[in-house]
């Protein structure tokens, strides 16, 4: 094959790959735009105590994505679940679909391999931690406070069992600011919850969204802790208003911005895969 033919094939392959990536970016951005997070969903405003620390950490920026689904469709999915999925409890179903996606299973394998090679990249388990819980018959029995996910990359800090607003909050990385940290984000919290459309204020929903009791929102929220605490504005209730975009953080270089964009894209991919795993 001539050099010109090789160059033509390489150019065509690069064009097709770029077109596909752009298509997927556009599709996911339209399906799962980024929204601000209401203060009621900020872990710092909770009254309980997280598993790994004495109190909930202060985050600086938070993003929210959701998938809207008819309530009857979700109820039909729940009714078809087996006992091994805890009778199909909605919050557990959403959490399992998310944490069981192939990218996170791949992360699980990579972290496990790196740990075996003696290059641990996750903190050692705290006393009382546990792996994903299975009963004596080997059936999965739900997430609990202290469950370590993705080979220790995440730890479940709190689980709210509610028929209307179930919530699972997990921690990753550090939640203590460190100016010397190599990345602008040192860690934070991920929240998976299911909410009625009325639970989010209009500022967290697109203008065309109608509040309907016939629909629910499958929600994923990322709260991030910046390496250096920043000043945040407060609302009328005296609660901190978190930044809604990573780009709003100060003193970001091109690597930080690139990492922030990757996080947004990766979050949308995980949500999309979770929705597909639920058959929605």
Three-state secondary structure string covering the chain:
CCHHHHHHHHHHHHHHHHHHHHHHHHHHHHHCCCECCCHHHCHHHCCCCCCCCCCCCCCCEEEEEEEEEEHHHHHHHHHCCCHHHHHHCHHHHHHHHHHCCHHHHHHHHHHHHHHHCCCCCCCCCCCCCECCCECCCCCECCCCCCEEEHHHCEEEEEEECCCCCCEEEEEEECCCCCCCCCCCEEEEEEEEEEEEHHHCCHHHCCCCCCCCCCEEEEEEEEEEEECCCCCCCECCCCCECCECCHHHCCCCCHHHHHHHHHHHHHHHHHHHHHHHHCCC
Residues 177-224 have pLDDT tens digits of 888 888 888 899 999 999 988 777 654 555 555 556 688 899 999 999
Question: Has residue 252 been placed in a domain?
Answer: yes
Residues 25-54 have pLDDT tens digits of 788 888 998 888 888 899 988 899 999 999
pLDDT at position 59 is: 87
Residues 1-16 have pLDDT tens digits of 666 666 666 777 776 6
- How many domains is the chain partitioned into structurally? 1
pLDDT at position 202 is: 56
pLDDT at position 213 is: 64
pTM of the model: 0.83
Question: Has residue 12 been placed in a domain?
Answer: no
**Is 70 exceeded by the pLDDT of residue 123?**
no
Question: Has residue 53 been placed in a domain?
Answer: yes
Q: Which domain holds residue 214?
A: 26-277
């Amino acid at each position: 094959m001539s050099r010109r033919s090789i160059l033509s094939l390489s150019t065509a392959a690069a064009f097709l790959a770029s077109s596909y990536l752009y298509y997927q970016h556009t599709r996911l951005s339209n399906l799962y735009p980024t929204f601000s997070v209401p203060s009621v969903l900020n872990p710092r405003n909770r009254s309980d105590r997280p598993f790994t620390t004495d109190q909930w950490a202060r985050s600086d920026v938070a993003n929210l994505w959701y998938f809207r689904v008819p309530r009857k469709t979700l109820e039909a999915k729940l009714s078809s679940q087996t006992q091994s999925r805890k009778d199909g409890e909605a919050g557990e179903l959403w959490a399992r679909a998310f944490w069981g996606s192939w990218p996170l299973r791949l992360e699980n394998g990579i972290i496990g391999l790196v740990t075996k090679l003696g290059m641990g990249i996750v903190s050692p388990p705290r006393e009382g931690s546990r792996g994903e819980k299975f009963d004596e018959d080997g059936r999965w029995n739900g997430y609990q406070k202290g469950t370590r996910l993705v080979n220790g990359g995440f730890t479940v800090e709190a689980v709210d069992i509610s028929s209307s607003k179930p919530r699972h909050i997990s921690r990753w990385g550090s939640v203590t600011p460190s100016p010397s940290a190599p990345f602008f984000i040192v860690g934070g919290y991920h929240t998976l919850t299911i909410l009625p459309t009325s639970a989010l204020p209009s500022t967290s929903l697109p203008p065309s969204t109608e509040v309907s009791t016939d629909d629910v929102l499958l929600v994923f929220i990322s709260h991030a802790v910046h390496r250096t605490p920043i000043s945040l504005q407060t609302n009328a209730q005296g609660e901190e208003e978190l930044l809604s975009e990573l780009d709003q953080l100060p003193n970001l270089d091109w690597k930080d911005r690139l990492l922030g964009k990757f996080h947004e894209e990766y979050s949308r991919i995980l949500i999309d895969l979770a929705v597909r795993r639920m058959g929605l």
